[in-house]
Amino acid sequence: MEQFLFFFVAFLAIVSAAYFVFSRNPMYALLSLIVTMFSIAGMYILLNAQFLGIVQIIVYAGAIMVLFLYILMMLNLNKADESKKQNTLKFIGVFSAGILLIGMLGAFRGVKQNILAEDGIDFSVGLTKNLGRLLFNEYVVPFELASILILAGIVGAVLIGKKDL
């Protein structure tokens, strides 16, 4: 059942990503990209990487996609702008996709079937509990230094953006 669910979520991610690429309406394209990001988060969760799944939802589907949607609504794109695209850009896109397809086929050629063994798998690897224990025991100094660096960046951004009164 879990394998079927994983393949369903992967199929949903592929279909929504393809709709994003081929959609003519930018609003529907961004909404399909949000579905793609949620599908990728679902795959992370099904692969027992809960932390990556939650970060995928919060950062990509939550923050960045909402920002893209806001920018798209502010730009107010017209259909007249769509016809100005040059054919060379379309050719470069198709050529790049072909090179990517050839690379993926070459990578899959070396993959063997049934390489996963059921015994000996540690299913507690991707759990958030273990990640938190590792961060706050072994890597507490770099973790705190990163938080101080982020705080300094926030204070700097506020000071730069502040208008003189």
Query: Tell me: the pLDDT tens digits for 57-110?
Result: 888 877 777 777 777 777 766 555 555 566 777 788 788 888 888 887 877 776
Nearest-10 crossing angle of helices 26-46, 65-75: 180
Number of domains in the chain: 2
**CB-count exposure of residue 163 (10 Å: 0-12, 13-18, 19+):** exposed
Domain assignment present for residue 104? The answer is no
**CB-count exposure of residue 119 (10 Å: 0-12, 13-18, 19+):** exposed
Domain boundary among 77, 94, 114: 77
Q: Are residues 67 and 134 in the same domain?
A: no
Domain assignment present for residue 45? The answer is yes
Q: What domain range includes position 56?
A: 1-77
Domain assignment present for residue 110? The answer is no
Q: Kindly report the pTM of this predicted structure.
A: 0.58
